[in-house]
Structure 1
Amino acid sequence: MTSSITSTPFYNSGDLVSKKNRVLKERERRARETVAFKNLRHALDVADPHTFWRMERVDIVEGAVFLIKQ
């Protein structure tokens, strides 16, 4: 007779792999966002160097629209 404690695994290896993949995907997403943010900031500085862009979420959208219109 086996008890439920000994027959139940402590962890599910599929869950660990899934969690690791989620963490890696999140890191990759943040890295892409950082690169895109820096590229946008550089493009805005080149396009209009006298404007101070705070680079908050609203400003990022306004900055992208500004670059598209130019």
Structure 2
Amino acid sequence: MSAAPDLIREEIALQLSQVAAFAAAGSAQAQVGNDHALAFEVRCAAASLMAVAGLVEHLRPSRQQQGERAA
């Protein structure tokens, strides 16, 4: 297996850890009623999750590699 997919997986793991940290911080802010900080943590978690969604696309085989026609 080439190094590039491994590096992408490492970055995905890091980003997912950040998502978990933002979610935990957001949960704590929700429990204490700090809506401003809660909104910030949710936005940060969402941005990290969107980064992961973009990265994971690099690991998927293209449709042409699967023998299908590309759209």
Output the TM-score relative to the length of structure 2: 0.47
Point out the structure with max Rg over C-alpha: 1
Output the TM-score relative to the length of structure 1: 0.48
